[in-house]
A and B are shown apart, each in its own frame.
Chain A
Amino acid sequence: MKAAGNSTFFQRVVEATPGGELLSQCLQCGSCGGSCPSGADMDHTPRALFAMISAGLEDEVLSSNTPWFCVSCYACTTRCPQQIPITDIMYTLKEMAIQSGRYEHPGAAKFSETFIGFVEQRGRSFEAGLATRYHLFHHPQQMVKLGMMGMNMLRRNRLPLRPKSIRQLDQLQAILAEAKTIAAEERRV
């Protein structure tokens, strides 16, 4: 499965990103990669990734670790001379990578999913449960260290053990369900 419908990979990235049409204006100047605090861990700099998107290298782009190392700091976005919403494009790429089952850094995707799970079930995030569930499933060896940190957090009253919930959870869940339906319909066209 290369392209859905008649649109190219480039067009799909652009369409899925608010303000994404500016991507066609990329100058390949490299200011984005030069500003990126986690650039050293990325297999392609943001600049290179954008050239690859234009070249239609869908597989390579969606299996790159680059979007997963993005910490959403917006340094690239504010420095880009063409005002390309780079951080949002990273988000689009993560979303597309998950949907096509091709992500290089499953840990990051799982962390996001665990976090989202708590928000959807309670309307609030829940650090104790998040860290435990995520690391228990994905890095059991981290649990010992995490346990110690957790104890230190508890002692300082910084880690509530009981999750909080919002009152009108049904309202939130109805909204999220509707948003997901709209998003799924969009993907089908």
Chain B
Amino acid sequence: MNERRYPYYPGCSLSHRSHAYEVSTQAIASALGFELVEMDDWNCCGATEYFSVNRLPAYSLVARNLARAADAGADQLVVPCSACYLNLHKTDKNMGLYPALGKKVNKALSAGNLHYEPGTVHVRHLLEAVLTDFGLDTLKERTRRPLYGLKLAAYYGCLVARPDAVFDSTEQPMAMDEMFTALGAEPTAFRLKTFCCGGHMTQISETTALEMIHKIIKSAADSGADALVTICPMCQLNLDVYQGYANRLFDTSYDMPVLYFTQVIGLALGLTPKELGFGQEFVDASGVPAKIQDVPPPKAKPERRSKQALPMPAMPE
């Protein structure tokens, strides 16, 4: 396979506190044969803070990245963090959709000798790039160690599924679930896959955030998952680091490991937990690889309903 090169925007979280995501991303990139080339001198996307209180500077902050990427000849930008993805994608989209806004942003950019033509840089989440450019067949083909018996809850969070849902459904995304199946694992019937992780609320109103975190962890545990799998460093941080606080507040004792999707792909590609940055999580995830079985588990229950039957609400067991 020819080596693909992707212009890459890692974002502050990856270069700071979500080292395991960065490590596992780079590990699967070299295993799958693609290269992520970090764009030069990128700046923070402003997270949800900047947009919420200072709109025009926020768009300009984000647009500096787009303009610099475009100047360097990039026609796309791959982003592993859902918040960065949303901000970059939204800025590109809204500058085109609302020309008055686009003009003002470009006026601001001109103070730094930059200009951005909306639509030049296609902003893509890392999950989207891996799934559309490599595809399930390639992943299946490259799988060295099928994840038989591993039950995984696919957690998409809000910012990739919404508001634009460019590569999956807003309400019931399935891309990651299908990927788990291709890798040999079993996606669980996890209901809160796009419920918000609480975002910055952990800093502002902790109980509000802990309630959301508790709901997600409970829903994943109820679905029988061995681990919850995220596609965003913020989601991972909230669900992992704050899980203990949520347990204390709700008097529960969940210990749900929270992985990055890149770690899951990496395990299937035959990489070791160490190569994938395992060990930085708060809720110990070292038991997850140990649950992988050598043979596919027997099919749980025969289907009682025909596939053609009308959909019925699922009954809680």
Residues of A within 8 A of B (CB): 16, 18-19, 37-38, 40-41, 67-75, 77-78, 87, 90-92, 94-95, 98, 105, 107-109, 111-113, 115-116, 119, 123-127, 131, 134, 149, 152-153, 156-160, 164, 166-168, 171-172, 174-180, 182-183, 186
Contacts and interface: CB of A to CB of B under 8 A. Distances in A.
Contacts of A176: 57, 60-61, 108
B46 interface: yes
Interface string B186-207: 0000000011101111011100
B253 interface: no
Interface string B152-169: 000000110011010000
B47 interface: yes
Contact of A94 (B52, B94, B112): B52
18 contacts: A18-B97, A41-B208, A70-B52, A73-B196, A75-B158, A78-B162, A78-B171, A105-B204, A111-B203, A116-B49, A124-B44, A125-B12, A131-B203, A153-B241, A172-B112, A179-B59, A179-B105, A182-B107
B4 interface: no
Contacts of A152: 241, 282
Contact of B200 (A37, A71, A124, A180): A71
A153 B17 CA distance: 8
Contact of B56 (A87, A111, A179): A179
Nearest to B51: A91
In the complex, the 5 A-B pairs of residues with the closest C-beta atoms, listed nearest first: A73-B196, A178-B111, A74-B162, A179-B108, A73-B158
B60 A112 contact: no
A77 B282 contact: no
Which interface residue of B15, B59, B64 has the most chain A CB atoms within 10 A? Answer: B64
A182 B158 CA distance: 32
Contacts of B171: 78
B104 interface: yes
Contact of A18 (B94, B108, B195, B198): B94
Contacts of B280: 156-158
Contact of B53 (A75, A109, A172, A175): A109
Nearest to A173: B112
> Interface majority SS on A: helix, strand, loop or mixed?
helix
Q: Which of A90, A167, A171 has the most CB of B within 10 A?
A: A171
B212 interface: yes
Contact of B204 (A108, A116, A126): A108
Contacts of A167: 41
B196 A71 contact: yes
A70 B19 CA distance: 28
Interface in B97-119: 97-98, 101, 104-105, 107-114
Contacts of A134: 203
Contact of B47 (A18, A87, A125): A125
Nearest to A107: B204
A162 to B, nearest CB: 10
Contacts of A171: 64, 112-114
A183 B54 contact: yes
Most buried by A among B51, B105, B165: B51
A107 B206 CA distance: 12
B55 A16 contact: yes
Interface centre among A38, A69, A158, A171 (most CB of B within 10 A): A158
A159 B61 contact: no
Nearest to A181: B108
B162 A38 contact: no
Interface in B73-122: 94, 97-98, 101, 104-105, 107-114
